[in-house]
Amino acid sequence: MSNSSKKDTYDRVIVTLPRQVASRLRQYADIFRQGNKSGFVADAVESHIEHLKKVRHTARLREAYAASADVGASIVREWQQIDDESWRKLDERERARRKKNK
């Protein structure tokens, strides 16, 4: 790859890090990226962005589940009176059947 095409795919970004973080960056870049600090930082940034997307997605799912639960509870409340009446009638029928079989 020529230098001109390489420049087209990369942007130079200058960051300032606390010494301890910079030291850890060098240490981990040596281990995981053969000393390529830029590559390690790029990996870390991509990883963190994916983490943030998942956190946002999970939060949205939780909101949707909560809204769905509210709708479900509302439906249960609407049908509760009918359910109670149906169970009452079934219980009366069962008591009558038992009484008849005694």
Q: Are 15 and 31 in contact (CB under 8 A)?
A: no
Residue 40, judged by CB atoms within 10 A of its CB (0-12, 13-18, 19+), counts as buried
Contact residues for 79 (Cβ-Cβ < 8 A; gap 6+): none
Dump pLDDT digits (tens) for 35-45: 999 999 999 99
**Is the pLDDT score of 75 beyond 90?**
no
Looking at the chain, the whole-number percentage of residues with pLDDT higher than 90 is 56
**Is the pLDDT score of 73 beyond 60?**
yes
**Is the pLDDT score of 2 beyond 60?**
no
Domain regions of the chain by residue span: 3-101
Residue 43, judged by CB atoms within 10 A of its CB (0-12, 13-18, 19+), counts as middle
- C-alpha–C-alpha distance, residues 77 and 82, integer Å: 10
